[in-house]
């Protein structure tokens, strides 16, 4: 699923958070929105998700205008920094949740749900924890389960907002590599927000550098390092976190 953002505008009161943004994301691409806190990354992600309505401009999925399409009709999967799993449900039930709440006509059978959940647990390499509860897993494992849960409903687009933000440096590093591998396996169009340039550079096919509601540069990690387009990009990338 390709994503196009056209002339997107969003202000909260006097503060312009998305300032006429244009962006093309190809089908199957993994793109990072990178920038300092308050640069508008999360707002752009939420508009793509359908959780926020822009003041002007459009979001197109595969060329189709979805700007005003309800979030439930967009088939997007989410992973948020604090997207807590349901504490009272087993890991298996957490992953199965999105399938169980489907309308009866499209709900898979129990056997199909079991098969699907097992497949997803294998994909995130946690196939032996289905019977456990969230508090029995580490933070990194919980985020992998959050990913499995997001993928269960077969989204057309995966959106991640600082997915590893709450974890320590070592686990973050591990999960980064792991997200990249997963993406290479499933090739799902994915957009993830981070303020950590190392994370963006290591994981993404292309990086969108944002500053004060504007896009400073879009490019591969190599292109950004080799030919930073603006003084801001140069400064931001040489700022070792």
Contact status: 39 vs ligand ADP (CB under 6 A): yes
- Kindly state whether residue 17 participates in binding ligand ADP, applying the rule CB under 6 A: yes
Stretch of residues binding ligand ADP (CB under 6 A), selected from 40-48, 80-88, 106-114, 176-184 = 40-48
Closest to ligand ADP by CB, 51 vs 171, is 51
Residue 12 interacting with ligand ADP (CB under 6 A): yes
Task: Give dist(CA 147, CA 83) in Å, integer.
Answer: 10
* Segment contacting ligand ADP by CB under 6 A, of 37-45, 55-63, 104-112, 129-137: 37-45
Q: How far is the CB of 209 from ligand ADP (least distance, A)?
A: 11
Which stretch in 34-42, 73-81, 163-171, 178-186 sits in contact with ligand ADP by CB under 6 A?
Answer: 34-42
Give residues 124-153 in contact with ligand ADP (rule: CB under 6 A): none
Contact predicate 91/133, CB 8 Å: yes
What CA–CA distance (Å, rounded) separates 70 from 2? 18
Applying CB under 6 A, what is the total number of residues that bind ligand ADP?
Answer: 12
Tell me the longest C-alpha to C-alpha distance in the chain.
56
Q: Report how far Cα 132 is from the mean position of its chain's Cα atoms.
A: 26
Choose, by CB under 6 A, the member of 41, 74, 172, 206 that binds ligand ADP: 41
Site for ligand ADP in 204-233 (CB under 6 A): none
Tell the burial category of 199 from Cβ atoms under 10 Å away from its Cβ (0-12, 13-18, 19+). Answer: buried
Q: Which of 3, 8, 34, 35 binds ligand ADP (CB under 6 A)?
A: 35
Q: Is 94 in the site for ligand ADP (CB under 6 A)?
A: no
Examine residue 42 and tell whether it contacts ligand ADP (CB under 6 A): yes
Residue 197 touches ligand ADP, criterion: CB under 6 A: no
Site residues for ligand ADP per CB under 6 A: 12, 15, 17, 35, 37-43, 193
């Amino acid at each position: 699923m390709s994503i196009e953002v056209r002339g997107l505008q969003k202000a909260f009161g006097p503060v312009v958070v998305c300032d006429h943004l244009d962006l093309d994301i190809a089908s199957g691409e993994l793109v990072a929105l990178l920038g300092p806190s308050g640069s508008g990354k999360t707002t752009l992600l939420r508009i793509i998700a359908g959780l926020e309505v822009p003041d002007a401009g459009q979001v197109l999925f595969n060329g189709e205008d979805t700007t005003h399409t309800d979030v439930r009709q967009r088939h997007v999967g989410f992973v948020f920094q604090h997207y807590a799993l349901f504490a009272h449900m087993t890991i298996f039930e957490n992953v199965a949740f999105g399938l169980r709440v489907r309308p009866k006509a499209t709900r898979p059978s129990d056997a199909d749900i079991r098969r699907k959940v097992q497949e997803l647990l294998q994909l995130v390499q946690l196939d032996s924890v289905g019977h456990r509860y969230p508090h029995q897993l580490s933070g990194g494992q919980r985020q992998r389960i959050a990913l499995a849960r997001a993928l269960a409903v077969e989204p057309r687009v995966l959106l991640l907002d600082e997915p590893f933000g709450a974890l320590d440096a070592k686990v973050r590093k591990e999960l980064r590599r792991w997200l990249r591998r997963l993406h290479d396996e499933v090739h799902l169009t994915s957009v993830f927000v981070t303020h950590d340039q190392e994370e963006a550079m290591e994981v993404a096919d292309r990086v969108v550098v944002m500053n004060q509601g504007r896009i400073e540069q879009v490019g591969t990690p190599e292109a950004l390092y080799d030919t930073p387009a603006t003084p801001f990009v140069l400064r931001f990338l040489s700022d070792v976190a």
